[in-house]
Every structure is written in C-alpha cells, then in structure tokens.
Amino acid sequence: MKHILVTGGTGFIGSHTVLELLNQNYRVTAIDNLSNSKLEPLKRVEKISGKRAQFRKIDLLDIKALDDLFASTNFDSVIHFAGLKAVGESVEHPLRYYKNNISGTVNLCEVMSKAGVKNIVFSSSATVYGDPEISPIIEESPLQAVNPYGRTKLTIEYILQELYHADDAWNVSLLRYFNPVGAHESGEIGEDPNGIPNNLMPYITQVAIGKLQELSIFGGDYPTHDGTAIRDYIHVCDLADGHIKALENLDNNPGVAIYNLGTGKGSSVLDVVKAFEKANKLKIPYNITTRREGDAAICYANVTKANNNLNWKTNRNLENMCRDAWNWQQKNPDGYP
Ligand code: NAD
Ligand code: UFG
C-alpha cells in the first residue's frame, strides 16, 4: 500500500483529496498548521470512508518537524497543497506569502530530497496565466504573475522544474487548477471560508442561507455573452480525482508534467447564478456593480492534455457543483464546528 503525504490536508481541496486517496486504498498522512482550517474535516473524512488518515500538526516553516516526520515515516509521494491563497491579502502582505509559500516549499523539498522521496504533485493555479489574452488556455500559453500570490505559484513551479533539471530522479506534476467549487455530495466536507467570502460560490451560498443580503456581481460590461466575467468552475471532487490520476502518472511518465485542471467550459457569473437558482429552486438577489480590480474578463482551460495523458475527465457539471455547494452550506450553516 503506497503511503502519501498530503500537506494542507485539512484544507478545502486537501480534505477532498485525502478522502479520495483513502477510497482508493492509499495510506495517508496529512499535515497542516491549521492556519486556515480545522481538524474536523479529517474526522468527517473518516466518517464517510470508514478509514483514517494520520494527522500531524506541522508548519512547513518548521524544518525540524518536517525532518523528524520524514525520518520516522517512509513516504512514496507528496501532494503539496499547503499554502496561503488570498490574492488581496498577498498584495497587502507580500512577505508573508513569499515566506510561507516559497520558503515552506523549499523546506519541504529539502527534506524530501534528503529522505530520497522525489515524487511531488503541486497545487498550482490558473493565476500563473495572469490576465490571459486568449481562452481556452493551453499549458504553453504565456505565463505572468499579476500579484504576490500568483508570483509564489509561478516561482514554485520554476523551483520544482529546476530541481528536476538538477536531479532527474525527481518526478513533478504541476496542476494548474481553474476555479474549484462545490463539496462532497454527502455534505460532510466542503469549503469553509473565514469571514465574508471573496469567492463567488461561497458568497452565493451565504446569500442563499440569508447570512449575506445580496450578491454584488463585479462588472456587467465585459466582452462576454451577458457582460459578466467568465471562469472555468470545476467540482472539487473531480479535482481530487485529478490528483490521484496525476499521482499514478508520476510512475509512468517521469520528469516534469504540467496540466490544466478545469472542465474546459467557461461560465459567466450570471450563468452560475442561474444554474444555482435552477439546481436549488431558489432566488439569489444580486446587483451588478463595478469591476473588481485585477479580474480577467475571460479565463477557461483547454483540458485536452489532462484528458489524454492522465486519462482523466470531469464528471460533474455546473448544476452538480451548485447543488453540492448548497447541500454543504445547508448542513453546515456556520461551517465546521
Ligand atoms: P485551504 O486554505 O483550504 O488549504 C490550504 C491549507 O494549507 C490550509 O489548511 C492551511 O492551514 C494550510 N497551510 C498554509 N500554510 C501552511 C504552512 N506553512 N504549513 C502547513 N500548513 C499550511 O486552500 P485550498 O482551497 O484547499 O487550496 C489548496 C491549494 O490549492 C493552495 O496551495 C492554493 O493556493 C491552491 N489553489 C486553490 C484554488 C482555489 O480557488 N481554492 C485555486 C488554485 C490553486
Ligand atoms: N465575483 C463576483 N462577486 C463576488 C465574488 C466573485 O462577481 O462576490 C466574480 C469575480 O469578479 C469573477 C468570478 O466571480 O469574475 C469568480 O471569482 P472568484 O473570486 O470566485 O474566483 P477568481 O477567478 O477571481 O479567482 C480564482 C482563485 C484565485 C486564483 C484565480 C486565478 O480564487 O486564487 O482564480 O486562477 F488566483
């Protein structure tokens, strides 16, 4: 049985991936500093799967703790989710982002290298394409960091590629996620943002449950079919599945591989609102306001490479994403206890 270390394993995407790993009979150790998550999701994962992931509270900046972990456990591969992810916060506190995300990853890689564990799947982001001129976006599209958060993702991509160039025993999968939303269909695990959500789907579910009054749609004058901005929303369980496929592929395709993970389909903000209303039979009050600074008009993926090379495809559509996000919100109106 392969033993996988999942960093950021109590987070939104991490917890869904831990569940999928356990379902597929991997042994899992999750680490997290709990700066943006709680332990509860792993308890829920155990409830759903009937299997337990080991957990250690470890900060990636604590290299001694990482060293001890790798000295005491034989891991086959690492899936590396841990990081800070709020774009606005990264603009206000760039050093916090560089230190946490970049230094944390350097520590992790150093310890992995020492332990001879050289298989890594990394959470990159569509943010590395900056403000894309053309969609669908292919993996070879121009790269650009437009904020400190994006720069940490791009820098880590380069670090991992350079690591491979220096030592071809490394196997690296860089997964560029588009817009992960939704929740496990059980409604036991889902996205639990702190405070007022920045992202569209959790904002909509909080309007639906009455915590927020109405949705502000940022911009109604984009060059799109209805004037609102277009993104590629992907169900978090499809995304989790992509990680298992990427992990399996590390063995068959050594080296560095880069994949877009999205559905390949663009949806406008109004499309999402309508899909949510239809899927859940309720109304979302909204108001179209000015554009949000730094937002791209249109951003969706070409996912041919992941479809072909990873033998992976998404199975859930926008209505499924809206249904599952709402199910999670209703079952957990205040998020995790
Ligand atoms: P999340 O915040 O729910 O999970 C990240 C986890 O990392 C959190 O549990 C946090 O406590 C932990 N963490 C942060 N710094 C740490 C450190 N120094 N040591 C140990 N643990 C630490 O976020 P998520 O949405 O699950 O995202 C997971 C990864 O995917 C992140 O790297 C994020 O940048 C990337 N990503 C997310 C999205 C998205 O929209 N959710 C899109 C693209 C990429
Ligand atoms: N939006 C609204 N109102 C809101 C929230 C969002 O209209 O209250 C709009 C945004 O303007 C955007 C779309 O909904 O057009 C999606 O916004 P999100 O904040 O949900 O997602 P983004 O595409 O802006 O950001 C996501 C990740 C970032 C990542 C970026 C690029 O959250 O971490 O994709 O990959 F950097």
Q: What per-residue confidence (pLDDT) applies to 252?
A: 82
Q: Which of 129, 218, 287 to mutate to test the pocket of ligand 2 (most atoms within 8 A of CB)?
A: 218
Q: How far is the CA of 109 from the centre of ligand 2 (A)?
A: 30
Q: Is residue 64 part of a domain?
A: yes
Counting from 1 in the atom list of ligand 2, the atom nearest the Cα of 177 is 35
Q: What angle do CA 264, 269, 275 make, to 5 degrees?
A: 80
> For residues 204 and 192, is the Cβ–Cβ distance under 8 A?
no
pLDDT tier, 253 (very low <50, low <70, confident <90, very high otherwise): confident
Positions marked active-site: 149
Tokens of 337: 């206890």
> For residues 15 and 240, is the Cβ–Cβ distance under 8 A?
no
SS3 category, 168: coil
Q: Is residue 212 part of a domain?
A: no
* CATH code, 115: 3.40.50.720
Helix (H) or strand (E) holding 39: none
Q: Which of 35, 81, 199, 328 to mutate to test the pocket of ligand 1 (most atoms within 8 A of CB)?
A: 81
Which phi and psi angles does 234 have, rounded to 5°?
-130, 135
Q: Is residue 134 part of a domain?
A: yes
Q: Is residue 47 part of a domain?
A: yes
pLDDT digits (tens, 9 = 90+) for 5-49: 999 999 999 999 999 999 999 999 999 999 999 999 999 999 999
> For residues 305 and 259, is the Cβ–Cβ distance under 8 A?
yes
Q: Is residue 173 part of a domain?
A: yes
pLDDT at 251 over 90: no
Q: How far is the CA of 218 from the centre of ligand 2 (A)?
A: 9
Q: Determine what percent of the chain is predicted with pLDDT higher than 90.
A: 99
pLDDT digits (tens, 9 = 90+) for 286-301: 999 999 999 999 999 9
Q: What per-residue confidence (pLDDT) applies to 254?
A: 86
Q: Is residue 103 part of a domain?
A: yes
Atom 43 in ligand 1: which residue has the minimum CA distance? 125
Q: Is residue 140 part of a domain?
A: yes
Tokens of 294: 């730094």
Q: Is residue 271 part of a domain?
A: no
CA-to-CA separations, 116 to 20, 54, 166, 248, in angstroms, rounded: 25, 21, 14, 18
User: With a threshold of 0.85, does the pTM exceed it?
Assistant: yes
Domain count, the chain: 1
Query: CB within 8 A of 302, min separation 6: which ones?
Result: 136, 137, 138, 260, 264
DSSP structure string for 32-56: E--SS--SHHHHHHHHHHS---EEE
Range of the domain at 25: 3-182+234-263
